[in-house]
Amino acid sequence: MKYGIVAFPSKKLQDLANTYRKRYDPHYAKITPHMTLKDSFDATEDDIQSIVKQLDDIAAKHAPLNIHASRISSFFPTTNAIYFRIEPTEQLQAFHRVLEEQIPFGDSKHVFVPHITIAQKMTDSEHDDIFGQLRMTGVDEHDSIDRIHLLYQLEDGSWTTYETFRLTGAE
């Protein structure tokens, strides 16, 4: 089964992202707006039990994640995805490193760029038009995320929560 580790921002930031995702993201109905902390990976039920224990330990050591969605950016020319850029603080980078080291499943598909996708799978011309419009709108939202989620993928491609972990530590 395919799993992933994400953080969901506050309802306010999710609602803002969804104003764009409804129109520009074909994955809108498959998962709520999120920041991917560990790319999707395959794991067995036995693996998941050990991953849950690891995530419990990690969450107990780490403080809530303070994020700042500072601007609208794009992964063009790699993909035509547009996203809210989350400032890559030392706290986020360190948290991601811990997940990669302690949950050694799957390979990172990309360099860790904290973000919340708001548009994807567009043609080049659609991307250029929409990106130009959205950049003028901009984003400047601060948020604190106090939980992370282990998700699994259903047969229809949508994602649902397997377990939630509250960030209660000091790091």
What is the helix (H) or strand (E) element at residue 43, kind and residue range? none
Which is the catalytic residue, given 62, 96, 115, 127?
Answer: 115
Cβ-based neighbours of 149, under 8 Å, separated by 6 or more: 5, 6, 7, 8, 161, 162, 163, 164, 165
**Catalytic (active site) residue 62:** no
CA 84 vs. chain centroid, Å, equals 11
Among candidate residues 34, 62, 96, 149, the one labeled active-site is 34
Angle at alpha carbon of residue 126, lines to 118 and 79, rounded to 5°: 60
**End-to-end distance of the chain based on CA atoms, in angstroms?**
31
Phi, psi (5° rounding) for residue 69? -80, 105
Q: Is 96 a catalytic residue?
A: no
Active-site residue numbers?
A: 34, 115
